[in-house]
A and B are shown apart, each in its own frame.
Chain A
Amino acid sequence: MKDTEDSEEDSGETLKRTLRAQRQRRRRKLLEQSSVKESQHDDEDEEEVSAVQDQSVKEEPAEKTVALRPPSGSRRGYSLKPLPVSSSQKLDTFVTRHLEEKLRAARFKGESLQQEKEVSADPASRLQSLRGRDRVTRFDRETDSVKAEEDDVSVALSARVKFKEAAKRVNQGLPTANEAYNFFTFNFEPEPAEETEELRRKKRKQKETTEKDRDEDEGEEPEEDDKEDSQDPNENQSEETRLVPTEEDLFIIDQSARDFLEVKKAEYVGVKKRAARDSELLFTPSFRKAPTSVKLPENVKPRFIEDEGLYVGKRPSVSFTNETILENRLLKMEEGLEWFGDDGRILALPDPIKESSTRPPLFSMEGDLNPAIQTVFRKAQKSKYAADPEGDYQLDVEVFGLVFSHHPLFSREHVLASRLCQLYHQYLTRQQNNLTGHLTDKLNGLRNALGNMMKIHREESLTLSLQQRISEYSLEVRDTRQLRDSEQEKDRTLLKNIIKVWKEIKALREFQKFTNTPYKLLLRKENVDPASDQQEYEEEIQAEVMELEAEKEEDYQRSLAEYRKQLEEWKLWRKKQKAKRKKKKKKKKSQKLEDTTEDEDEEQEGSELEGPEDGPPKPQPPERPDFDAIEQQVKEKASKIRRKPGEAVLIPVLSASGNITDSELCPRVEVSRRQEVLRHSLFIKILCNDKKVSKTDSRPLGTDFRVHFGQIFNLRIITCPQSINLQVFEDTGSSSSLLAQVFVPAPEPSVVTGSASLEDFEFSSNQRVMFDHEGVGSDVPLSFEADGSNKVVLLTSGKLTCGVSWGVGDDDVPLAPSASQHPGVKHSGLGHLDAVTSIGASGLYDMKKIGEWAKQSRLDPNDPKNASIMQLLKVASSGEVTAPEYFRLEHLQEEFNFVTDEELDNSRRFRLLRLRNQGVKEFRNYKFIPALENEISDKVFQEYERRLKDGETVDTREHLDSHRALVAKYLQKIQESVMNRLLFAKHRFLLSDLVVEEEIPSIGNKVPVLLKAEKLDSLEHPRQNVRERDRADVNHMLKILGINLFKLTEPKRPLKPQRKERKKVTAQNLSDGDVKLLVNIIRAYDIPVRRPQSDKAGQSSQPAIHGSDWYLNQVQVRPFVEVSFQRTVLQTTTADGPNPSWNEELQLPFSAPNGDYSTSNLQSVKDEVFINIFDEMLHETGVNDKERGPSIHTQVEKHWLGSVRIPFSTIYSQSRIDGTFKVNTPAVLLGYSKERSHGANSGYDLLRSVSEGAFITLFITIEPQLVPGEPVREKFDSQEHERLLQAAEKFERKAAKRYPDRPCITTVIDLNGKTVFITRYIRPLNPPPEFLEAFPNNPQEATTLVARFVSLIPSLPDQVSFSGVCDLWTTCNQFLTLLAGDEEEHAVLLCNYFLSLGKRAWLIIGTAIPEGSTAYVLTHEQSRYLIWNPSSGQFYGQYDTFCPLQAVGCLVDADNVWFNIQEYASPMRMSFDVSKRKLWKPFFSGSFPHPGLSSVQPEELVYSRTDEAAAAELQDRIEKTLKDKIMEWRPRHPTRWNRYCNTTLKQFLPKLEQSRGQDVAEGHRHELQRLLGDYRVRVTAAQTHTESVEANTNRHVFPPDLRIPAAHVLLRDPTRHRGRVQHRRPQHPRIQRGVRPGCALLVDVRDVSLKAFQRRGFVRAGGRGEFAQPGRQLLQGEIGDLLTSRQIQVLQRTTSSKKRPAGITTIKKYIYCIKTTVLPHSLWEISSKNNL
């Protein structure tokens, strides 16, 4: 213990040591007890004590040395050092052994020491001896180590004390040990019991206290004792053990199991003792409340802050006992008082717990909801009462009764009596209010105050403020006095009147000799003490007189002062005048000396006369008030209005105790009046909102003209009533008449039954009633005077007593509407709790209202909850100027703004960030917005700003004409609006967008649908349906499980693999290169075959060609397919024959623009996949290399045969395209023919040749499968009838359920974004009249013309234009104005034209390839059905194999929609007879007839001619652009344009158009070839629409092989090509140096209805030629009937110089020419009737 105290340096180690010591001590004690006999001597105690002292003393200095000297500093410290370190047992034993030896050597020394100690046994000298010893140890080295050991053991190795002890015991037998440690053993042999030890220690303590003279540190001892007191008794021995010489531990050798055993008596401490001890140690707070005085500092009274008006929050609730316990506990603490507040309670923060929970209750979304709180779906229902959905209030109307103040049946006495009653009532109320008394008191008070003030301040001069106050007081006194006087006067007159009326009654009764009314007036006199009264009266008058005098005096003084002032002014003015006059006088004197004074006087007078006119008039002095008169006046007044002094006080008492004279005693007139009265009865009708609700029972009119009803009516209402009207009806036996109406205001919501009081409502009626009996009647002049003067007219009037209040429900909830609904919102009661409910949300902006409310509800201004309102009110009330005109909840917001809003707006960086966040096109993918403002240049915004600015202006350059530009703008606007609409929907996600889950058709989803459908169906065949549904469900379930389990066993590589649905990938995690377009080219049919060369007209080498003809017939054609997409071109291998089969898969990489793979961006990709079929031609060029020997060089050419174009958007939305397509072959393909052969093959061909054109079977898809955009999940508003919309929805849902693959459309969205029923689009519309005029006799021709016209209107898929799956339908005139539209618009227009032509036509909604879901037109002609493709103008028979229409979903005409419920959807296998109900399900049927929907289409379309000049300009522009483009593509070579070709083709083009793009007749071809003379020419023709010039030159006009960007191909090294050219040249011939083909473009554009579109011809001749001579001709034929466009024809021709016969000129140049033409007379314009 002491060690720890002393050596602070290594307290940790000493702690360890002490612990160890304790352990061993315990063990040693055990040994002692077991092995050593307890032979004790009485005197041992003493001895022991001395030993204790000795040891402790010996120990301490040693320790001190250790503490004082650092271990390294002294030798002893050094020797000590290893010991503390060696904490392990091993070391200990080692050390002990080592020390053992040393110890033995030192034993003698020890003995001598011991003796020395024994010698110096007396305590006084002990320390000295010890010190001496210490010195010895220092000098003597040997003893040093031993001593150190000795000390150390007590210090460090005390851990083994017990072992040491044990060892000591063991070793005790040894004589040497005995000798050496005789002293110690002697001392410690006996082990006293605990109690004795306690005793001993006490003794020791005593002794120590006595031995205070010792040098020892005293502080340590008591501390030690204290500690030991609290410790275990065992520990007490630590003291002892330490006293034991610790050398003993050197003899520890072994221990036995007994060492650890301790046998000892069970401890028992007596209960009382323990309780006593506990009470010493423990504190039990009492349950009693401590008095407040204890809790507060002395002489402080408790102070309750709340009472002082300060805000004190609600304390959290703590149980009383707990609080008192805590208080008592705190009181025990020293600083406990700090915990108490001024009020003597424990300080507490306000209760933070809110009364109501702010968080809505959470329900787990799992299915196990408590059924009690399960939500039940209830369809929204329109309230029958329309106005207020909350409803169900109860209004209690209590009709208590009524009292007439006048009634026609009143007798004269009644009239007077009622008057008396009224007066008396008035008197009573006045008495009750006692205004006079109040005022008198007030007056007296004021007078006293004034008097006091005057008295106090009499001596001193009055200060200004005091004067002010006095004058205020006197003013007040005057006002009060006047008020009192008037009140007194009123009292007096009232009393007089009462008495007068009473007298009249009495007179009347006297006169008529009977009594009608029970009223009696008694005047009670209260005598007063005349003397005092007199005195009072006099005093009063005196006071008044004095006051009046003072007032008058004051007035007089004031006016006097005024007068003096004025006088002063006047005098001043006067002086001035005089001075003036003097001057004048002097002047005059100097001028005329002879002037007399009289003159002067006159002048003076004159001036004096003048003076007052200018200056102020001379003021009149005020009159002195007449004080005598005042007194007189006062007295007069007093006598008038006041009781005379000494006069008794009269108190009228009205009682109704008088007797009424019986009827028998009355005169006849009176009797009849009374009978009349009895006949009358009254009832009241209750009207609520002018509707009769109820009526009271009829009650007879009493003789006192009071009616008591006492009825309560409970009105159940749903809105707060506008008016509550009580109509008083008078029932006179036979008839009842309305007497009066009483309007009762609707009660406030707080007025509920029980709390409401009855109110009186006065009513009156101006009905004129006259009687011949005693009744006075109503509205009849009546006089009580004998002479008939002083007539009064009395009207029926009375008071209705009733009460209106809101009912109370069963649960004490007032059945009242909320305050906001209340019409006349008056606030009270309820409104106190919440400002908003009280004054309404709008009231929050009204400062006054808030103020009123705050005042009414007595808000606690110190409550932090109200802080904001109080702040606001303070601001509002402190000054009008500072009050803001708005109410802001977060009024500190401004302080937290980083910068002002303007700064934010000006910041370019923030603007950039904001625009990017908004998803503005230019910035959507902007990366790395610079961190610093100055790094952002204004250029960034230029483009965006320009676009914004261009929103208004129209750029005509890019468009063919202004109209087109306008249309483009308009479309853009629509696009924007649609985009905005879609924006919201896009951010809504479905589970499938986020989570990929195995596609299992879910029953869970199906069932509700089925249930609903079943409900709707159930009317028709309920039972069957249910059963079917059940079966379907079970089957479905089994199927799912079965299929999925079956899948586990299915072979990995089936023999006939089927295309599986692939995993869909959302676009978000894609990047460039991830997406590939897979094009699987399977086979083609009816590829044009090469025509025998003989067709070349005018060739000389006929036989040779015949020879080659045979050869060519062998190899008819060697087609291959080249697919190009986004600058990637891939091709298949070459196959043979016109029906090749490739079955090859091509992979083309796809990269989205801007690397943005979002759905919206992908949808707007405008790229197209071009699939071109070429014929591979091989030419043997023969030997041309002499050095290397003879060799055959083959030259490969590719001849374009046709192409298929599929937009990427189609592939994306369809996700895969699978089918056979018609190849878009050129109209004129010179050198090729579609015919299979020339008669060589037989009838088989005839059968096959029904198909026109070539076909190719393709499978195209995207890898990985991209998720196509979901259709917009937004419901658009509509003007259609709700019922119709519901029916449409149901129809579509059912259709989708039964035939998911058949599209069914009943409603579509128009340009305004409204849902429109589809049949409204169908209406016969007139085609341009020229179509009909062109073939008046041939309707068939007209039909095809119309179809062609429609097909030539440019097509623009909605996906591209609206970048979202949102199919907008335009009406026909919108369509023609926009000149762009989807398949649907084309189909609708075509259908409408057909209807106008008198055909039976329907719109087919179905699926086709490649469009997917689309619209076609069906016509019924001559008992067969024709299917028209509106986009191409072609028609197909129903049984046409190559009809692109794959499935028919529904048919639409102007009246109905039929859904296809046949087994098959393919047109070939179905019937189009819509009259068959089993095959076609009509939308409108018997149960739901056609409601007569009007059409959205216009009455008729108006066409107008196009501007010819504009057309010509357009023509030129197109031509120029095309020319430029071609030259641009061939930058290295000059391009020359051939005029000869122009003229040649000019004649040819119109004929092409005449054939409407069909194959040219044989004659034409011959003609063409003849025209072009020398050249081998192949002509191809294609057609394109124009959208804009720019777009066309890039995309449409030229076939892809021309278009593959020049830079891409031409920049290759031409010499390298030359080397390879010899063998195979897959590239386009145009770029081959060696071939030098010529190319002629002939462009002819016709514009119809401003819809410019072009035809394109592409003519090319193969062969290796050294020159090319392209030709181009503009054909400007006369095709009056044709309103359609022309082809662009490109004629290309090359000839090989080697093959050419001699004599033909060769031109080594490329020559191109382009010319466009627009046929002027065939241009039409749709009038812009439908303004955009």
Chain B
Amino acid sequence: MATSNPSVFLLTVNGQIEGADFPEYDNLYCKYCYVYGHDWAITTGLEEGITQITCKSSLSQTLVWNFPLETSFKSTNPSGWPQLVVSVYGPDVFGNDVVRGYGATHVPITPGQHTRTIPMFVPEPTWKLQKLTGWLLGRRPEYTDPKVVAQGEGREVTRVRSQGFVTVSFHITTKDMKKMGYDTGPCNLQTAASVDQPCTF
């Protein structure tokens, strides 16, 4: 790859899944994966991962994972920009492992530090009896594929319930994007940080 005339640009995502806020649940763990378009590929790093199980402490009601994310992407086309899909699981009253939330966010496009708070949701059972049996048997409805939450198609048939929040912090580095004609906005770290969504805890 000639540096003067690049044919791909690179996007490096460093960061961590910091933690979550699920007021009702405890002992949760989180799975993450990336969803990206045809023109994207992961060059280094893990595409998906699973965190440890974390418990709430008596002092803080926040679940803390601090699970590092380190992935580099290469791409030729900003379309299909990577999305981080997180899904949180944990045991229910009977000890069955059930899903506690799905959520997705786009990897920020501006270089710099970003913090994202992802609202989480789970699919609802189709009817009440199912809800009861699902609760009894620990078989809550789940998405066939967590990646569904990163796309729009077919979502209209589902109904979901909000659950909690997951906080992810990103450190974004890009390479060659400007050379290829994509200006992703402020490179100034201060402005980038101020643009960020504030943490809502």
Q: Is there contact, CB below 8 Å, between A929 and B38?
A: yes
With A927-B41, A989-B154, A1002-B126 known as contacts, the answer to whether A994 contacts B133 (CB < 8 A) is no
Name, among A365, A1037, A1068, the residue most crowded by chain B CB atoms within 10 Å (CB to CB): A1068
Are A993 and B154 in contact, CB atoms less than 8 angstroms apart?
yes
Contact B39 A1002 (CB under 8 A): no
Residue numbers in B under 8 Å from A1003 (CB-CB): 129
Q: Given the known A-B contacts A991-B157, A995-B123, A997-B126, are A929 and B76 also in contact in the complex, defined by CB atoms under 8 Å? A: yes
Residue B56 interfacial (CB < 8 Å): no
The smallest C-beta distance from B44 to any residue of chain A, in angstroms, reads 17
Contact B157 A990 (CB under 8 A): yes
Shortest CB–CB separation between residue A82 and chain B, in angstroms? 37
Complex Cα distance, B134 from A997, in Å, reads 8
Chain A contact residue count (CB 8 A cutoff): 37
Complex-state Cα separation, A925 to B39, whole angstroms: 10
Q: Give the Cβ gap from B90 to chain A, nearest Cβ, in Å.
A: 18
Residue B137, interface by CB 8 Å: yes
> Complex: how many Å from CA A776 to CA B157?
86
The reply to whether B126 and A991 form a contact with Cβ atoms under 8 Å apart is yes
| A994→B154 contact, CB < 8 A | yes
Residue ID in chain B nearest A1003 by CB atoms: B129
Interface mask (B102-129 → A, CB under 8 Å = 1, otherwise 0): 0000000000000000000001011101
Most chain A beta carbons < 10 A, residue from B9, B144, B148, B157? B144
Task: Say yes or no: A997-B141 contact (C-beta < 8 A), given A927-B38, A931-B8, A932-B7.
Answer: yes
Q: Is the CB–CB distance between A1048 and B137 below 8 Å?
A: yes
Cβ of B184 < 8 Å from any Cβ of A?
Answer: no
Residue of A nearest to B176 (CB): A931
Q: Report yes or no: A931 in contact with B154, Cβ–Cβ below 8 A.
A: no
Which residues of A are found within 8 Å of B139, using beta-carbon distances? 997-998
Q: Is the CB of A991 within 8 A of B158?
A: yes
- Bound-state CA distance A785–B133 (Å) is 111
A311 on interface, CB distance cutoff 8 Å: no
Q: A997 — which chain B residues lie within 8 A by C-beta?
A: 123, 125-126, 130, 134, 139, 141-142
Taking a contact as CB atoms under 8 Å apart, the answer to whether B154 and A930 are in contact is: no
Alpha-carbon distance A935/B7, docked complex (angstroms): 8
A1069 near B: Cβ within 8 Å?
yes
Nearest A residue to B128 via CB reads A1004
Residues of A within 8 A of B8 (CB): 928, 931
* A469 vs B100: C-alpha distance when bound (angstroms): 91
Shortest CB distance A248–B (Å): 48
Verify if B153 is at the interface (C-beta below 8 Å from A). yes
- Which residues on the A side are within 8 Å of B24 (C-beta)? none
Question: Which A residues between 962 and 987 are near B, CB-CB below 8 angstroms?
Answer: 987
Nearest Cβ on chain A to B86's Cβ, whole angstroms: 16
Q: Is A24 positioned at the interface, with any CB of B under 8 Å from its CB?
A: no
Q: B143-177: which residues lie under 8 A (CB-CB) from chain A?
A: 143-145, 147-148, 153-159
Which of A932, A994, A1037, A1069 is the one whose CB lies under 8 Å from B157?
A994
B77 at the A interface (CB under 8 A): yes
Q: Is B46 an interface residue (CB 8 A)?
A: no
Contact B143 A998 (CB under 8 A): no
Q: In this assembly, does A1044 line the interface, its C-beta being within 8 Å of a C-beta of chain B?
A: yes
Q: Quick one: given A935-B7, A989-B153, are A998 and B133 in contact (CB under 8 Å)?
A: yes
B50 interface residue (CB < 8 Å to A): no
Instruction: Considering the complex, give the chain B residue whose CB is closest to the CB of A1004.
Output: B127
Q: Which of B41, B134, B145 gathers the greatest number of chain A CB atoms within 10 Å?
A: B145
The interface residues of chain A lying within 8 Å CB-to-CB of B158 are 991, 994-995
Smallest CB separation, B17 vs chain A (Å): 21
- Contact call A995/B141, Cβ cutoff below 8 A: yes
Q: Does B53 contact A (CB under 8 A)?
A: no
Chain B contacts of A1002 at CB under 8 A? 126-127, 129-130
Q: Does A926 contact B (CB under 8 A)?
A: yes
Which residues in A have their C-beta under 8 angstroms from that of B127? 1002, 1004
* Complex-state Cα separation, A1216 to B136, whole angstroms: 31
Flag whether B180 is at the interface (Cβ < 8 A). Answer: yes
Which residues of chain B come closer than 8 Å to A365, judged between CB atoms?
Answer: 159
Q: Cα distance A935–B156 when bound, in Å?
A: 39
Chain A residue at minimal CB-CB distance from B33:
A1069
Residue of B38, B126, B133, B144 near A916 (CB, 8 A) is: B38
Name A1000's contact: one of B7, B79, B130 (CB within 8 Å).
B130
Residue of B nearest to A365 (CB): B159
Note all chain B residues with C-beta closer than 8 A to A928. 8, 38-39, 41, 75-76
Query: Which positions 58-96 of chain B face chain A at CB distance < 8 Å?
Result: 75-77, 79
1/0 per position for A915-958, CB-CB distance to B under 8 A? 01000000001111111100100000000000000000000000
Beta-carbon contact of B144 and A927 below 8 Å: no
CA distance A1122 to B125 in the complex (A): 46
Q: How far does the alpha carbon of A928 sit from the alpha carbon of B180 in the complex, in Å?
A: 15
Q: Does A1065 contact B (CB under 8 A)?
A: yes
Could you tell me the distance between the alpha carbons of A993 and B154 in the complex, rounded to whole angstroms?
A: 8
Distance (whole angstroms) from the CB of A1008 to the closest CB of chain B: 13
A998 to B127, CA, bound (A): 12
Measured CB to CB, the closest approach of chain B to A836, in angstroms, equals 31
Known contacts A995-B123, A995-B143: A930-B134 contact under CB 8 Å: no
> Could you say which residues of chain B place their CB within 8 Å of the CB of A993?
144, 154, 157
Within 8 Å of chain B (Cβ to Cβ): is A996?
yes
A1041 within 8 A of B: yes
Give the complex CA separation of A1044 and B133 in angstroms.
8
In the bound complex, CA of A1004 to CA of B131 (Å): 13
What residues of chain B lie closer than 8 Å to A750, measured between beta carbons? none
Q: Nearest chain B CB to A273's CB is how many angstroms away?
A: 50
> With A and B bound together, what is the CA distance between A991 and B155 in angstroms?
9
Assess whether A998 is in contact with B41, with CB atoms less than 8 Å apart.
no
Q: Tell me the smallest distance from the CB of B99 to a CB of chain A, in Å.
A: 10
Residues of A within 8 A of B141 (CB): 995-998
Q: Specify which chain A residues have a CB less than 8 angstroms from the CB of B142 in the assembled complex.
A: 995-997
Please determine whether A931 and B41 come into contact, CB atoms closer than 8 angstroms: no
List A1052-1076 residues whose CB lies under 8 Å from chain B. 1065-1066, 1068-1069
In contact, A1066 and B157 (Cβ under 8 angstroms) = no
**B38:A930 contact, CB within 8 angstroms:** no
Minimal Cβ-Cβ distance residue in A for B148:
A994
Query: Contacts of A913 on B, CB cut-off 8 Å?
Result: 77, 79
Among residues 704 to 736 in chain A, which have CB atoms less than 8 Å away from a CB atom of chain B? none
Chain A residue at minimum C-beta to C-beta distance from B74: A928
Chain B residues contacting A916 (CB-CB under 8 Å) are 38
**Which residues in A have their C-beta under 8 angstroms from that of B76?**
928-931
Among B19-69, those with CB < 8 Å from A are 38-39, 41
Q: CB-CB < 8 A to B133: which residues of A?
A: 998, 1000, 1040-1041, 1044
- Cα distance A1004–B141 in the bound complex, in angstroms: 17
Q: Which of A931, A1044, A1069 contacts B9 (CB 8 A)?
A: A931
Residues of B within 8 A of A1004 (CB): 126-127, 129
Q: Which residues of B contact A1045 (CB under 8 A)?
A: 136
Within 8 Å CB of B126, what residues of A?
A: 991, 997, 1002, 1004
Closest residue of B by beta carbon distance from A366: B159
Across the interface, B145 reaches (CB within 8 A) one of A926, A929, A1066, namely A1066
- State in angstroms the CA–CA spacing of A455 and B64 once bound together: 102
Q: A389 to B39, alpha carbons, bound, how many Å? A: 53
CB distance from A1158 to the nearest CB of B (A): 13
A365 CA to B127 CA, complexed, in Å: 13
Residue pairs across A and B with Cβ atoms less than 8 A apart, 12 shown, are: A928-B75, A929-B39, A930-B76, A935-B7, A989-B156, A995-B123, A998-B130, A998-B141, A1002-B126, A1003-B129, A1004-B126, A1047-B137
Instruction: List 19 other contacts, CB 8 Å, given A913-B77, A927-B39, A987-B154.
Output: A365-B159, A913-B79, A928-B76, A929-B38, A930-B76, A994-B144, A995-B143, A995-B158, A997-B134, A997-B139, A997-B142, A998-B130, A1002-B126, A1004-B127, A1037-B129, A1048-B137, A1065-B144, A1066-B145, A1069-B147
The 6 closest A-B pairs by CB, nearest first: A989-B154, A931-B76, A998-B139, A997-B141, A1069-B145, A995-B123
Question: Which residues of B does A touch, CB under 8 Å?
Answer: 7-9, 38-39, 41, 75-77, 79, 123, 125-127, 129-130, 133-134, 136-137, 139, 141-145, 147-148, 153-159, 180
